[in-house]
Amino acid sequence: MRLFPFFSSLGLLLVMIISNGLDSPEPRLRSMANFPVGVAVSPQRLAQTDYAQIAGSEFSSITAENVMKPQYSWAAEREYDFSAGDSVVAFAENHNQQVHGHTLVWHMMQPKWLRESIDSYDSATLENLLRDYIHSVVKHYRGKVVSWDVVNEAIAAEGDGMRNSVYRQKLGDDYVARCHQYAREADPDVLLFYNDYSVATNPEKLKTILTMVDDFQARGIPIDGVGMQMHIGLDLSLDNFQYALDEIVKRNLKIHLSEVDIRTNPEGTAGMLTEEAAQQQQELMAEIVRLYQQIPEQNKFAITFWGLRDNESWLTQNTGNPQWPLLFDDNFSKKPMYQGFLDGLETGQTKLN
Ligand code: XIL
C-alpha cells in the first residue's frame, strides 16, 4: 500500500516523459541551416491555418510568389498598391522572418494598363515611369525587405545576349544597370540581385550573366548578388552547378538559390511520385545543399523554395503535368526531399569542419 504513491508518481512521470516526447519540437529547416531558408507564398495561402503554421515555423525567409510583381503593385501611371505585399510582410514580421523582394522589373506579369500603353510611350516617358515605380516601391519597403530582384530574366532564354524585351527595345541594353542605380538611390542598404533561370544548366547564359556582372563591377553599378532560380530536373549536372557557384563566388557576390523546385515527371506520364523518383529527388536535394553549404559564409544569401506543397506548384500548369517538385506533399507531410535538405546540411558541414 505504501508503494502506491511511488508507483502512481512513477506513472505520472512516465506519462510526462512520453507526452513530452510527443510534443518535443521536431527539427525545423530554419533552425538546422546556418543560412536563411525561404518559401514563396501568397496572401491567400497564408490565410489557411495549417499552411501558415508550416510556413511560419519551418522557414526563416519569405518571398511573395506574385504579389510584389508589377502586375499587383503597379495600379496605374504613378499609382501604386502595396496592400497585398504589405500583408506578406506583416506575416513575416510576426514570424521573425526576412523578406526577399521579387521583382521590380520583368517582361512578364505586367499590369494590363501597362501592356496596353507601353508601345505608345517614347523612351523618356517609359524611363521616367519606371524610375518612379522603382523609387516608390523600394522606398515603401525600405527596412522591411532585405533584398530585391531588380530585373528578372533580362538575358535571352538561349543565353546568347540580352532578351529583346520591350524594355530593352525602348531603353537600350544598359537599362538593367540604370534600374540597379534607381533601386540603390531609394535604399542605400537593401541588397540588389540579378535573378534568372538556367544559370546552372546553360553555360552560355551563365557567361552572359557574368559578363554583365563584370561590367557592373567595373563601372561601379551596385549589385550584391545573383539569384539562381533552380527550376531544375533530376538530370541537373552537379559539375555545372558547382562551376556556376564558383564563378559567382569569385566575383564576391551573394548567391540566392531563389526559386528551387525539382521536377520529377519529365515525360508527363507518371500518375504519382514513385519511390524511386522521390529518392532521386532526395539525393539531388542533398547534393545541392551540400555544395551550397560549402561556399564561403559571406557568399550565402538563402535557399528559397518556390512553394510549399507539391499540389500548389506553378509547374503543374507550366509543364501541363504534376511534377511533385517541393518539400511537402499535398497533405503537408514532409517528403524524402525534406530529409535530403537535412542530409545535405550535414554532409556539407562535415566537409567544412
Ligand atoms: C510564377 C508564379 O509561380 C506563378 O504563380 C505565376 O503565374 C507566374 O510566375 N520565374 C520567376 C517567377 O521569376 O516569378 C515565376 O513565378 C516562375 C519563373
Q: Per-residue pLDDT tens for 104-153? A: 999 999 999 999 999 999 999 999 999 999 999 999 999 999 999 999 99
Mean pLDDT of the 49-75 span: 98
Q: Given the CA of residue 197, which atom of ligand 1 is nearest to it?
A: 10
Q: Would you say residue 350 has pLDDT above 90?
A: no
What distance in angstroms lies between residue 220's CA and the mean position of ligand 1's atoms?
A: 30
Q: What is the DSSP string of 171-217?
A: H-TTHHHHHHHHHHHH-SSSEEEEEESSTTT-HHHHHHHHHHHHHHH
pLDDT given for residue 194 in this prediction = 98
What distance in angstroms lies between residue 105's CA and the mean position of ligand 1's atoms?
A: 13
Number of neighbouring beta carbons within 10 Å of residue 91? 20
pLDDT given for residue 2 in this prediction = 52
Percentage of the residues of the chain whose pLDDT score is greater than 90 = 91
> What crossing angle do the helices spanning 83-94 and 49-58 adopt, rounded to 10°?
60
100 - beta bridge partners? 63, 147
What distance in angstroms lies between residue 5's CA and the mean position of ligand 1's atoms?
A: 63
Question: What pTM does this model have?
Answer: 0.93
Q: Which of 229, 314, 315 to mutate to test the pocket of ligand 1 (most atoms within 8 A of CB)?
A: 314
Distance CA 75, CA 148 (A): 20
Q: Would you say residue 342 has pLDDT above 80?
A: yes
What distance in angstroms lies between residue 306's CA and the mean position of ligand 1's atoms?
A: 8
Distance CA 254, CA 64 (A): 20
Residue minimizing CA distance to atom 5 of ligand 1: 314
Q: Given the CA of residue 69, which atom of ligand 1 is nearest to it?
A: 14
Q: Which of 45, 63, 65, 153 to mutate to test the pocket of ligand 1 (most atoms within 8 A of CB)?
A: 65
Supply the mean pLDDT for the chain: 94
Nearest to 72 by CA among 51, 39, 50, 44: 44
Number of neighbouring beta carbons within 10 Å of residue 199? 29
- The residues, any chain, with a CB within 8 Å of residue 161's CB and separated by 6 or more, are 155, 208
Residue minimizing CA distance to atom 9 of ligand 1: 66
Asked if residue 76 lies in contact with residue 113, where contact means CB atoms within 8 angstroms, the answer is yes
With a 6 Å cutoff on the Cβ, whether 314 touches ligand 1 is yes
Number of neighbouring beta carbons within 10 Å of residue 291? 18
Active site residue 158: no
Q: Would you say residue 217 has pLDDT above 70?
A: yes
Number of neighbouring beta carbons within 10 Å of residue 103? 23
Q: Would you say residue 17 has pLDDT above 60?
A: no
State phi, psi for 258 to the nearest 5 degrees: -95, -20
Active site residue 77: no
Distance CA 270, CA 353 (A): 41
Q: How confident is the model at residue 349 (pLDDT cuts 50, 70, 90)?
A: confident
Could you say which of 58, 65, 127, 153 is catalytic? 153
Side chain identity, residue 67:
V
pLDDT given for residue 21 in this prediction = 47
Interior/surface letters 221-231, b for 16+ CB within 10 angstroms, e for the rest: bbbbbbbbbbb
- The residues, any chain, with a CB within 8 Å of residue 351's CB and separated by 6 or more, are 290, 293, 294
Helices (H) and strands (E) in the chain, counts: 15, 11
State phi, psi for 235 to the nearest 5 degrees: -90, 10
With a 6 Å cutoff on the Cβ, whether 224 touches ligand 1 is no
Mean pLDDT of the 218-236 span: 98
Mean pLDDT of the 281-309 span: 98
With a 6 Å cutoff on the Cβ, whether 229 touches ligand 1 is yes
Could you say which of 127, 259, 287, 312 is catalytic? 259
Q: Would you say residue 1 has pLDDT above 50?
A: no
Distance CA 246, CA 201 (A): 14
What distance in angstroms lies between residue 66's CA and the mean position of ligand 1's atoms?
A: 7
Express each pLDDT in 21-54 by its tens digit: 455 567 899 999 999 999 999 999 999 999 999 9
Better-scored residue on pLDDT, 101 or 9: 101
Strand 74-76 and strand 225-228: the pairing is unpaired
What distance in angstroms lies between residue 109's CA and the mean position of ligand 1's atoms?
A: 9
Q: Would you say residue 18 has pLDDT above 60?
A: no
